[in-house]
């Protein structure tokens, strides 16, 4: 008959389970952090903004009448954004042209001043303010998805890797060469400006779970060790009585 030790006891099995849960949770968090860092590194070559240059999708982005119309819309204030995803814009650009989407991410590289050509206006129509216009490439660091944007005016300067959020009208799918010379494609949006994204409040759920896991592991060790000592003491007394 095999002697029952603490190593093969149910108490120690519970400790192994608690440790496995803890390691898995931390491993998942580390994978997310590494994925974000990989996206930031992989897309660093796309830091150069797309230069406004064709109306047609998947061509370099040219001054056009529709682009000018989007500038006027952005200047007047865009309507509430619709639930459009990155894939929707890439797959159905003709159908979604002019739709407003909300985008949040980090600015890649430098924001570049943009010389916007005057747009055709109806008699008595006021032109949009374009003297402060700029162009930027904005990436969602989690998904790695990137959009190019014309901003009529820059927003507040974000901190390093700080996120911005803005509502932009979808113009087209633009192609552009990145810093390595590879041709990339991305949705091109037109927006008035951006605001700084408020960081999400840290959820207390994970720390609580980690604390409970550690507490259960410690309790299992203490209880298991005590039970093992009592069992050994009882066995020694029984052997002595024999």
Q: What is the pLDDT along the chain (242 residues), one digit of tens a residue?
A: 555 665 666 766 777 777 677 767 766 666 655 555 555 544 555 666 666 655 678 877 766 778 888 988 998 899 999 998 999 999 999 999 999 999 999 998 888 888 776 566 677 776 677 778 899 999 998 888 999 999 999 999 988 778 999 999 999 998 877 777 788 899 999 999 999 987 655 445 556 656 665 665 565 556 655 655 555 555 555 555 55
Q: How many helices (H) and strands (E) does the chain have?
A: 5, 6
Residue 130 and residue 140: Cα distance in Å, rounded?
Answer: 26
Distant-in-sequence, close-in-space partners of 180: CB < 8 Å, separation ≥ 6: 45
C-alpha to C-alpha distance for 57 and 65, rounded to whole angstroms = 15
pTM (two decimals): 0.63
């Amino acid at each position: 008959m095999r002697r029952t030790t603490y190593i093969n006891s149910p108490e120690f099995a519970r400790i192994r389970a608690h440790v496995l849960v803890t390691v898995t949770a931390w491993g998942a968090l580390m994978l997310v952090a590494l994925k974000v860092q990989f996206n930031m590194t992989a897309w660093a070559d796309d830091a150069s903004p797309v230069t406004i240059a064709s109306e047609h999708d998947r061509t370099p982005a040219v001054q056009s009448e529709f682009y000018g119309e989007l500038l006027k819309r952005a200047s007047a204030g865009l309507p509430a954004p619709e639930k459009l995803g990155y894939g929707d814009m890439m797959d159905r650009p003709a159908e979604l042209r002019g739709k407003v989407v909300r985008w949040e991410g980090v600015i890649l590289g430098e924001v570049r001043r943009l010389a916007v050509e005057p747009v055709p206006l109806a008699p008595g129509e006021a032109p949009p303010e374009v003297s402060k216009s700029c162009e930027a490439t904005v990436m969602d660091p989690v998904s790695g998805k990137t959009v190019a944007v014309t901003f009529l005016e820059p927003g507040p300067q974000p901190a390093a890797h700080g996120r911005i959020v803005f509502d932009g009208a979808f113009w087209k799918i633009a192609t552009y060469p990145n810093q390595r010379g590879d041709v990339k494609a991305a949705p091109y949006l037109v927006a008035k400006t951006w605001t700084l994204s408020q960081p999400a409040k840290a959820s207390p759920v994970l720390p609580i779970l980690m604390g409970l896991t550690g507490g259960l592991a410690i309790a299992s060790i203490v209880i298991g060790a005590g039970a093992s000592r009592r069992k050994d003491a009882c066995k020694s007394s029984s052997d002595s009585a024999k």
